[in-house]
Amino acid sequence: MTHQNIKTICLYCGSSNGKDPAYVKAAQEFGTLLAQTGLKLVYGGGDVGLMGAAARAAYDAGGQVKGIMPRFLRTRERLFDEVETVVVESMHERKMLMFEDSDAFVVFPGGVGTLEEVIELLSWRRLDLHKKPIIFFNLNGYWDPFFAMVSHTLAEGFTPEAFLKTYMSVDKVSDILKAVSYMSTQDEDIDTRKVL
């Protein structure tokens, strides 16, 4: 069960499939789960890669899906116009609208674009600009190198220890919404890295 204040989940993920078919399978499973739970999916707007797999699965399962895509990408990516799609003028506008329209964020494997999106989201959280849950889906340890980098910044004194409480990591699709619910009901002094 997800906390009652969570109605919309933003998915950050790759616009490619990745090498392991498990990535696409997990994205499809997550899209279906959102639809079955009555949660709306907000995503990058295309019908490609992991984001397309999740959006298509949510749509096929009867879920609500909202894509947000910059105009210049509409000629570069396969479109999924069967769902609600908002066309914006820039990547900055896209990210802001995705942020404003979402109650929580889930980060699947992805490339430099996904990394850029989540870094900004974490930075805003670090600056107390929001307290929305951020959940990494760490399939096969995909995000371990990123977590190691964060730990390195802590060890070198550039990031406070409290930063580790601003996100959670899970490795099963079935645990994602549990983590969202947990983070949405906890105070800042609760260790959100606890095992579900």
Residue 26 near residue 142, CB atoms below 8 Å? no
Over residues 127-165, the pLDDT tens digits come to: 889 999 999 999 999 999 999 999 999 999 999 999 999
Q: What is the pLDDT of residue 75?
A: 66
- Domain ranges in the chain are 13-183
Q: What is the pLDDT of residue 4?
A: 73
Residue 39 has pLDDT above 70, yes or no: yes
Residue 187 has pLDDT above 60, yes or no: no
What is the spatial distance between Cα 94 and Cα 162, in angstroms, rounded to a whole number? 29
Task: Give the domain 13-183 fold.
Answer: Rossmann fold (3.40.50)
CA atoms in the 13 A half-sphere facing the CB of 96: 7
List, as own/partner pairs, every contact residues 21-26 make where C-beta atoms lie below 8 angstroms and the sequence separation is at least 24, other chains included.
Answer: 22/139, 22/140, 23/50, 23/108, 23/109, 23/139, 24/50, 24/53, 26/108, 26/137, 26/139, 26/173
Q: Strand 40-43 relative to strand 65-70: parallel, antiparallel, unpaired?
A: parallel
User: What's the predicted TM-score (pTM) here?
Assistant: 0.90
Which residue shows structure tokens 């490795």? 171
**Residue of 34, 98, 25 whose CA lies nearest to 60:** 34
Backbone angles phi, psi at 192, to 5 degrees: -75, 0
